[in-house]
A = this chain, B = another copy of it.
């Protein structure tokens, strides 16, 4: 195909009601008029998915995952049919497909299935007939023809995977914000929309608590080099590109400041400092399904050390209990929990080649009389755990000092 092919994904809020579906149809058609080949991925209408989950829970508090997928996949099926009708109404040809029809083959892990392969023949055939192709996001099918869903954010994954399979020129992710910002504009009104970000930067931001597109989709996009354009479904302006390499931007050291107030800190004091102890602790937590985020262990004194880690507040009470049990069996000291913490992070590919970024960050926090409780760094990010009450001050100060408001 020599024509430009774009995969567009519209989330639930973009198709929440009849008027919005019509607006999406108009938008899609405006691109079609520019002679683009279009594959449109749609999520379930507004809160449909949550409503279906609620209905299921009324019937069975532990519903079978297979039946849950059977139930939830209807949400996107409704969306694609309605969007096709809305596009027809505008006089354009469109055809809708379920994940099953379009050959999105997954493994059998219901409610969180992984895509194994995509048989895109039906889509290619429809594109050849100059039809706008509409695909139900979030869903797939096993080789045994059971319907599966891909987990939260699954529609993004559908879009990225289709863009890869069809060698699309771009994958547009439509959302209710205008793009990705240098920090949360609700905290810092001076926050600027970022023009372009690398996959890695975005991945760091995602794992650091910034919303819009989940890590899994970005990972797939990175793996296959799918260019992503995050933009608003309510305006026409360009959003944020997520790509492999951002050119002419080497001087940008820090791309964004992120904040995550959704974690608790747990500290195990006086851990015996001998090989294998840390492994025992975190294996024990992993077995219980606890996903640990940041881990910090300091040098030891008197053959003992303290280990701190952060976990999502959701289920933190259970995690605390589990940790106590494990710690007891290892003969450690006290276990402390603190849920009044926040994690502020700076992210930027540029910091790889600019020394002194971490020092500058610590200085900014010190200048604002903010104590740092934990530090963790990666290649392209630095995170500090601070007391929650200082979170907004820290974000604003860092945003200012790293020149993001310019």
Is A78 part of the contact surface with B, judged by Cβ < 8 Å? yes
- In the assembled complex, the Cα of A85 lies from the Cα of B72 at a distance in Å of 13
Is A56 part of the contact surface with B, judged by Cβ < 8 Å? yes
- In the assembled complex, the Cα of A21 lies from the Cα of B67 at a distance in Å of 15
Partner of A89, one of B60, B77, B80, B96: B60
5 nearest interchain CB pairs? A71-B81, A74-B74, A70-B81, A60-B85, A60-B89
Among A21, A70, A95, A147, chain B packs the most CB atoms within 10 A around the CB of A70
Of chain B, the residue at the smallest CB distance from A95 is B66
CB pair A86 B59 closer than 8 Å: yes
Partner of A101, one of B67, B80, B101, B145: B145
Tell me which residues across on chain B come within 8 A of A82, comparing CB atoms.
Answer: 55-56, 59, 67, 71
CB pair A80 B86 closer than 8 Å: no
Taking the nearest CB of chain B, how far is it from the CB of A43, in angstroms? 15
- In the assembled complex, the Cα of A84 lies from the Cα of B95 at a distance in Å of 31
Tell me which residues across on chain B come within 8 A of A195, comparing CB atoms.
Answer: none
* In the complex, chain A residues 170-186 whose Cβ is within 8 Å of any chain B Cβ: none
* In the complex, chain A residues 55-97 whose Cβ is within 8 Å of any chain B Cβ: 55-56, 58-60, 63-64, 66-68, 70-71, 73-74, 77-78, 80-82, 84-86, 88-89, 95-96
Tell me which residues across on chain B come within 8 A of A323, comparing CB atoms.
Answer: none
Given contacts A59-B89, A98-B147, 20 further A-B pairs with CB under 8 A are A18-B55, A52-B78, A55-B82, A56-B85, A59-B82, A59-B85, A60-B89, A63-B88, A66-B95, A67-B81, A67-B82, A67-B84, A70-B81, A71-B78, A71-B81, A73-B77, A74-B74, A101-B145, A101-B146, A101-B147
Tell me which residues across on chain B come within 8 A of A22, comparing CB atoms.
Answer: 59
Is A108 part of the contact surface with B, judged by Cβ < 8 Å? no
- In the assembled complex, the Cα of A178 lies from the Cα of B56 at a distance in Å of 30
CB pair A74 B78 closer than 8 Å: yes
Which label, helix, strand, loop or mixed, suits the secondary structure of the A interface?
helix
Tell me which residues across on chain B come within 8 A of A96, comparing CB atoms.
Answer: 67, 70
Tell me which residues across on chain B come within 8 A of A55, comparing CB atoms.
Answer: 18, 82
Interface size class on chain A is 35 or more
Taking the nearest CB of chain B, how far is it from the CB of A62, in angstroms? 8
- Can you report 24 A-B residue pairs in the complex whose CB atoms are below 8 A from each other? A18-B55, A18-B58, A22-B59, A55-B82, A59-B89, A60-B85, A60-B86, A63-B85, A63-B88, A64-B84, A67-B81, A67-B84, A67-B88, A70-B77, A70-B80, A70-B84, A71-B77, A71-B82, A73-B77, A77-B77, A100-B100, A101-B145, A101-B146, A122-B145
Taking the nearest CB of chain B, how far is it from the CB of A91, in angstroms? 11
Of chain B, the residue at the smallest CB distance from A103 is B145
Taking the nearest CB of chain B, how far is it from the CB of A395, in angstroms? 43
* In the complex, chain A residues 361-385 whose Cβ is within 8 Å of any chain B Cβ: none
Taking the nearest CB of chain B, how far is it from the CB of A128, in angstroms? 15
- In the assembled complex, the Cα of A59 lies from the Cα of B86 at a distance in Å of 6
Tell me which residues across on chain B come within 8 A of A100, comparing CB atoms.
Answer: 100
- In the assembled complex, the Cα of A102 lies from the Cα of B67 at a distance in Å of 15
